[in-house]
Amino acid sequence: MPVSRDDILSTLRGTALPDGGDLVSRDMIRALTVEGGVVRFVIEAPSAEQAQTYGPARDAAEAAVRRLPDVAQVSVVLTAHGPAARPGPGSSGAPAGAGGGAGGDEPPSLKVGRHPTPQQGQGPQRVAGVDRIIAVASGKGGVGKSTVASNLAVALAREGRRVGLLDADIYGPSQPRMMGVSQRPASPDGKTIIPLQAHGVTMMSIGLMVDPDRAVVWRGPMLMGALQQMLGQVAWGELDILIVDLPPGTGDVQLTLCQRTAMTGALVVSTPQDVALLDARKALDMFRTLKTPVLGLIENMAVYHCPHCGEASHPFGEGGVQAEAEKLDLPFLGALPLALDVRTGGDDGRPIAAGDTPDAAPYRALARRLVAGGMA
Ligand SMILES: Nc1ncnc2c1ncn2[C@@H]1O[C@H](COP(=O)(O)OP(=O)(O)OP(=O)(O)O)[C@@H](O)[C@H]1O
């Protein structure tokens, strides 16, 4: 039987790092591919300094994988993630602390939800080091926007892209649960927030900065401040793409993001039924007004395959989003099935796209489509 990703990952678990743990438990393996006996992967160290000490671990990992049966060739690249040195808004320009990392134990002294710091010029700003920013939006809540955002982020990371995920769903942040992270991000210098790493994705959620048991009652300006902090003060590092999981609907967060940040575009998620489509149209109208390009429509919960007999049914209707995309002359990026494992994966903090089951395939296809189209 040809060697599988799981075989390789369990082998890599045996490669100890000089500063503790192993390559897999510390989530440093990226873009692992196995094709006809050729294995390729990237080891991404948290900082350039750490990468310098990982040379022997890289060699040991390469040798261990080469010893596996049916492996003809192994290619390993060692890179460093390292937060980019850049000033946060209103800061004195102090570089981002390279230490700390996701596991740093110093709690951030930042007050989230403060009023925004005025920026020079009010036009859309770029986020330093980030090539593209794509919002995942929906008109209606519960259509699977956060599920699509997390799985797309993970699938893109597995394609070798450097991916960030910002959970901007201020009122119902769900990415910490879906990505399986709960620790409070560190802020070694009290200005820069060090994001967390999960499933190959650099992530940050407003939910990690606020008390999960307290209702968030923020007015527009406070929301703007929080969003500005998430974009400007988080040490995102160099990213090919930052995915922003928006709240549902057409409110202050959408407005602020599209007006203040140079967005590459938005992906709009909808289920096929009419009521969701009605709301999706409002979201599309909003993006048109804000001059944010809509990169495509995604249909979620499109089809359900009975696990017993395999019969396909369409509990939320069929083809509605594709028809809408055609009507509006927008790209239709794909239909994602309704699947129990997608739901349980989200609940357990292990997005389905992190695995290799058939349910992961539509997310991989979506990621590849975005990469092929230059969107990610
Ligand atoms: N394709 C799918 N198959 C099975 N369950 C799904 C699928 N997509 C989403 N779900 C489940 O539906 C529920 C709602 O999904 P999710 O939280 O992603 O929606 P949302 O649009 O982001 O909602 P909100 O905007 O209210 O946060 C979750 O329990 C999620 O696991």
190 lies in the same domain as 288: yes
Query: Is 146 marked within a binding site?
Result: yes
Dig out the tokens for 226 from the structure: 């929080």
- Clarify whether residues 292 and 360 are in a common domain: yes
pLDDT digit string (tens) for 125-182? 889 999 999 999 999 889 999 999 999 999 999 999 999 999 998 777 899 999 999 8
Question: Taking 50 as the threshold, does the pLDDT of residue 87 lie above it?
Answer: no
The reply to whether 99 falls in a domain is no
Asked if 62 and 178 sit in the same domain, the reply is: no
Q: Is 237 in the pocket of ligand 1 (CB under 6 A)?
A: no
Confidence category of residue 217, pLDDT binned at 50, 70, 90: low
Same domain for 47 and 154?
no
Contact 273, 241 (CB under 8 A): no
pLDDT recorded at residue 48: 66
91 known member of a binding site: no
Is the per-residue pLDDT at 187 higher than 60?
A: yes
CATH number for position 223: 3.40.50.300
* Residue 27 pLDDT greater than 70, yes or no: yes
| Number of the ligand 1 atom closest to the C-alpha atom of 148 | 18
Q: Is residue 268 part of a domain?
A: yes
State the alpha helices, DSSP H only, in the chain.
Answer: 5-12, 48-53, 55-66, 145-158, 175-179, 220-232, 252-260, 274-289, 320-328, 340-348, 361-372
| Interhelix angle 340-348/145-158, nearest 10 degrees | 80
Give the three-state DSSP class for 178: helix
pLDDT bucket at 105, cuts 50 / 70 / 90: very low
Q: Are residues 297 and 149 in the same domain?
A: yes
In angstroms, the CA 67 to CA 39 distance is 12
In a domain, 168, yes or no: yes
Last residue of a domain, one of 80, 115, 144: 80
Is 251 among the domain residues? yes
Encode pLDDT of 63-79 as tens digits.
999 999 999 988 777 66
Report the C-alpha gap between 14 and 224 in whole angstroms.
45
In a shared domain, residues 144 and 265 = yes
- Give residue 12 CA to ligand 1 midpoint distance, Å: 33
Domain stops at, among 65, 80, 95: 80
194 and 75 inside one domain: no
Same domain, 183 and 44: no
Q: Is the CB of 335 under 6 A from ligand 1?
A: no
Q: Residues 75, 182: one domain?
A: no
Choose one of 80, 103, 122: the last residue of a domain.
80
pLDDT band at 92 (very low <50, low <70, confident <90, very high): very low
Per-residue pLDDT for 322 more than 50? yes
Mean pLDDT in residue range 352-371 = 96
pLDDT exceeds 80 at position 241: yes
* Spatial CB neighbours of 303, under 8 Å, sequence gap ≥ 6: 312, 313, 314, 318, 335, 337, 338
Same domain, 66 and 183: no
- What are the pLDDT digits (tens) for 265-319? 999 999 998 888 889 999 999 998 888 989 999 999 999 988 889 899 998 888 9
The more confident residue out of 263 and 170 is 263
What spacing in Å lies between the alpha carbon of 48 and ligand 1's midpoint? 37
Mean pLDDT of the chain: 83
96 domain residue, yes or no: no
Q: Does the pLDDT at position 85 exceed 70?
A: no
Whether the model pTM is above 0.95: no
What's the total number of domains in the chain? 2
- Nearest residue (by CA) to ligand 1, atom 15, is 144
pLDDT of residue 33: 74
Residues 71 and 170 in one domain: no
- Inside any domain, residue 319: yes
DSSP state string for 256-289: HHHHHB---EEEEEE-SSHHHHHHHHHHHHHHHH
Which range is least confidently modeled, 96-110, 272-286, 338-352? 96-110
pLDDT of 84 > 70? The answer is: no
| Ligand 1 centre distance from Cα of residue 311 (Å) | 22
Cα–Cα distances in Å, from 130 out to 219, 237, 309?
A: 28, 8, 46
Question: Is 141 annotated as contributing to ligand binding?
Answer: yes
37, HSE (Cβ side, Cα atoms, 13 Å):
6
Predicted pLDDT at 356: 96
Residue 108 has pLDDT above 50, yes or no: no
Q: For position 280, what pLDDT does the model report?
A: 92
CATH label of the domain that carries residue 13: 3.30.300.130
Question: Is 335 within the bounds of a domain?
Answer: yes
In a domain, 43, yes or no: yes
- Point out the ligand 1 atom lying closest to the alpha carbon of residue 169: 27
Domain, as residue range, for 27: 5-80
- Co-location of 222 and 332 in the same domain: yes
Report phi then psi at 265, rounded to 5. 165, -175
- Spatial contact of 260 and 150, defined as CB atoms under 8 Å apart: no
Tell me if 310 is assigned to a ligand binding site.
no
